[in-house]
Amino acid sequence: MPHSLTGLPVEIIQITASHLTNSAIKTLRLTCKTLCAAVQLRLDRVFLSANPLNIAVFLAVANSDTFRHGVKEIIWDDARFVECLDGAPSHVRDPPTGCPAWFVDACKENIEELRFRKGQDIDRPDHVKRAEQVAAELPAKICWQYYQNLFYQQEDVIIFNKDAKALRYGLPRFPALRRVTITPAAHGWLFAPLYETPMIRAFPKGFNYPIPRSWPNVPSGEWKPEALPWEDEEVQQQYRGFSIVTRALADCTDHQVSEFIVDVNYLGTGLNSRVFEHPCAEYEDFATILRRPGFKRLDLDLLVGHQELISWPCFNSGHLYRAIAEARALEHISLHTNVEPDSRTSFVPMRTLFPVDDWPALRHFELSRLIVDQDDLVAFLDALPDTLRSVHLSFLYFPDNRGTWRGLLEDIRDKLDWRTRDPSSRPRVTVGTATQYVQFGHAVWVDEEVQAFLYADGSNPFVGNEEVVVSDLGVVRDSFEPAYERPNVSDYVLAKLGYLKDPKEWVFV
C-alpha cells in the first residue's frame, strides 16, 4: 500500500484528479514534479475580452502545444467597464470617500442585491464564500483605483484592437475548436461571476465594482430597453464583440467552428435584433458563418424592444430567415428575446422565423420570450423532422384568444404523432415559466410532469388560462447559481426541507 499519492499508479492519480476543479489541479501540480507531470490542466475553453490579462492568457494557450489542442470553445466577454454610468453626473463626489458618487452608489447597490438574491436561504457553501468576500470588502478608494486601472487598460486594448488581433491569431491555432460564445453576462453578480475569466480570477479579495454589461439593459428589470437602429454608430459600438467575432469567423477559413452562440443568460437584453432589419456588413458576416459546411448549432438571444409594436420588421424583413436557411446541417436552434406581453402586440408566425423545411437533421428546438399563436406553433412543431429529440419552451406569451399553455400541451399530445413514436424517438419537452419572485435568471422548469402528460397518463401541469404551473410541480433554478436548485413549493415547505432558514429567523431586506 503506497504511503503517498505519488506512490500510486499514474492512471489512478489521473482518475482521482479528473474529479478536481482546475484551481485544485493547479495547486496539486505545484506540490512536486511527479504530480506536475502526471496531472494536466483541463483547458477545453479560453476567454477573450478587452483586457490585457485575458489576452495574454489566450495567446499563451494558443502558443502552447500542450494545451491548444484541447480547446473546443472560445468565450468572448463583451462586457466593458464604463467611465461613468449613463445618466449619472461624473463630477459629483461622495464626501466620505472622495470617489465618484455613482461608483459608490453602485457598490452599495451590489451589496443590497447580494442580500436580496440570497433572501432567506440557508448559508450554503457558495453563500459562505460570498460572505467572506463581503467581510473583506476593500475601501471604496482602493476599489475605485483598481477599477480605473481596469478601465484604462481596456481602452488601450480597444484603441489598438489588441483583442481582435488575438482572436484572428488564435482561431487557426485551436484544431479542436468547435464553438464560439459571445456574452455580456460573464461578470454575473458581485462575487458570483458566470465565468471566472483570468481577469476576474485576478481581482483582489473584496473588490466591489459596478458590474459591467455593455449591452442595453435595465438592472431593475422594470422596463425593457428599445432596440435602436443598427446603423447608429453608438449602437454598433455597444456590440463591438459581435462585430469582431463575426468578421473574424467569416474571414478566417482555417477553423472548424460549427457552433455560434449569443448568450445573455436571461438578463433581459440581447443582440440588437435590428441587425437583421436591413443588409449590413455584420449581417453578411453572420450569414457567411452559417453557410459553412457542417454548421450545426445556433443560439441567439435578441433585444427586440418596441419591434413588437410595429409588426416585427426585424423578423419580417426575411434576412434572419435566409441566413438560418443557409445552415442545412443544423442540429440545434435556440431563439430567445426580451419581449414583454402587451395587448397591442401581434404574434410572430413561426415560418416567418424558421426555414423548417431545410432542417433534415434538427435534434433540438428552443424558444423563449416570444409572442406566439397556439395553432401556428403546434403546426410548426408538427413540421419538425423525425430527428427531433428535445424541445424547450419558456416564457411564451399568447395574445388574447390565441392560446394558453394548457391548450398548447393538449394540442402537442393530441394533434402530433409524437405519442405514437417509439419511446426512444419521442421529443422530450421542457417548459419554463416565471417564479413568484421576479429575478433575472429565475424560472420554474417543468420536465418530468410534462413527459407524463404527453406520453403517459399524467395531469396537465397548467390549469385554465394560468401562465404559471400548478404549485408543487417543477423545479426552480437560478441560471447564475447552480446550487440554488429547489422544488417549486411554498417558502414554509422549503424551510421544512432545509432550503430556507427557520421562519423565525427570516429577515426581510
CA separation for the pair 80, 83 (Å, rounded): 10
Contact residues for 113 (Cβ-Cβ < 8 A; gap 6+):
189, 190
Cell of 92: 459629483
Q: Hey, what amino acid is at 82?
A: V
The secondary element (H helix, E strand) that includes residue 508 is: none
- Asked if 134 and 127 count as a contact pair (C-beta separation under 8 A), the reply is no
Q: How many of the other CB atoms lie within 10 Å of CB of 83?
A: 10
Each residue's pLDDT tens digit in the chain (509 positions)?
A: 566 767 777 778 777 777 777 767 777 777 877 777 777 777 899 999 999 999 999 999 999 999 999 999 999 999 999 998 776 676 788 788 889 999 999 999 999 999 999 999 999 999 999 999 999 999 999 999 999 999 999 999 999 999 999 999 999 999 999 999 999 999 999 999 999 999 999 999 999 999 999 999 876 556 678 999 999 999 999 999 999 999 999 999 889 999 999 999 999 999 999 999 999 999 999 999 999 999 999 999 999 988 888 889 999 999 999 999 999 999 999 999 999 887 678 888 999 999 999 999 999 999 999 999 999 999 999 999 999 999 999 999 998 888 999 999 999 999 999 999 999 999 999 999 998 877 889 999 999 999 999 999 999 999 888 888 888 999 999 999 999 999 999 999 999 999 999 988 887 75
Q: Give the model's pLDDT for residue 6.
A: 72
Cell of 461: 401541469
Burial tier of 143 (Cβ tally within 10 Å: 0-12, 13-18, 19+): buried
Q: Count of H helices and E strands in the chain?
A: 19, 13
- Asked if 324 and 290 count as a contact pair (C-beta separation under 8 A), the reply is yes
Q: Give the model's pLDDT for residue 310.
A: 86
CA separation for the pair 219, 110 (Å, rounded): 11
Q: Give the model's pLDDT for residue 270.
A: 97
- Asked if 74 and 168 count as a contact pair (C-beta separation under 8 A), the reply is no
Give the rounded distance of the alpha carbon of 378 from its chain centre.
Answer: 27
CA separation for the pair 189, 479 (Å, rounded): 12
Listed residue (329, 328, 376) closest to 353, CA to CA: 376
Cell of 296: 450545426
CA separation for the pair 119, 127 (Å, rounded): 11
Q: Give the model's pLDDT for residue 174.
A: 97
Q: Give the model's pLDDT for residue 219.
A: 67
Listed residue (271, 34, 260, 53) closest to 156, CA to CA: 53
Pairing between β-strand 179-183 and β-strand 259-262 as defined by DSSP bridges: parallel
Phi then psi for residue 73, to 5 deg, are -145, 140
Contact residues for 53 (Cβ-Cβ < 8 A; gap 6+):
198, 199, 202
CA separation for the pair 90, 261 (Å, rounded): 35
Q: Which residues are paired to 256 by β-bridges?
A: none
Tell me: the pLDDT tens digits for 315-351? 999 999 999 999 999 999 999 999 988 767 888 899 9
Burial tier of 280 (Cβ tally within 10 Å: 0-12, 13-18, 19+): middle
Q: Which residues are paired to 481 by β-bridges?
A: 478
CA separation for the pair 463, 371 (Å, rounded): 20
- Asked if 114 and 134 count as a contact pair (C-beta separation under 8 A), the reply is yes
Q: Hey, what amino acid is at 470?
A: V
Burial tier of 305 (Cβ tally within 10 Å: 0-12, 13-18, 19+): buried
- Asked if 239 and 276 count as a contact pair (C-beta separation under 8 A), the reply is no
The secondary element (H helix, E strand) that includes residue 454 is: helix 448-455
- pTM for this model (two decimals): 0.93
CA separation for the pair 250, 379 (Å, rounded): 35
Cα atoms found within 13 Å of the Cα of residue 448, Cβ hemisphere only:
5
Q: Give the model's pLDDT for residue 274.
A: 97
CB burial of 196-207 (b: ≥16 within 10 Å; e: otherwise) equals bbbbbeebeebb
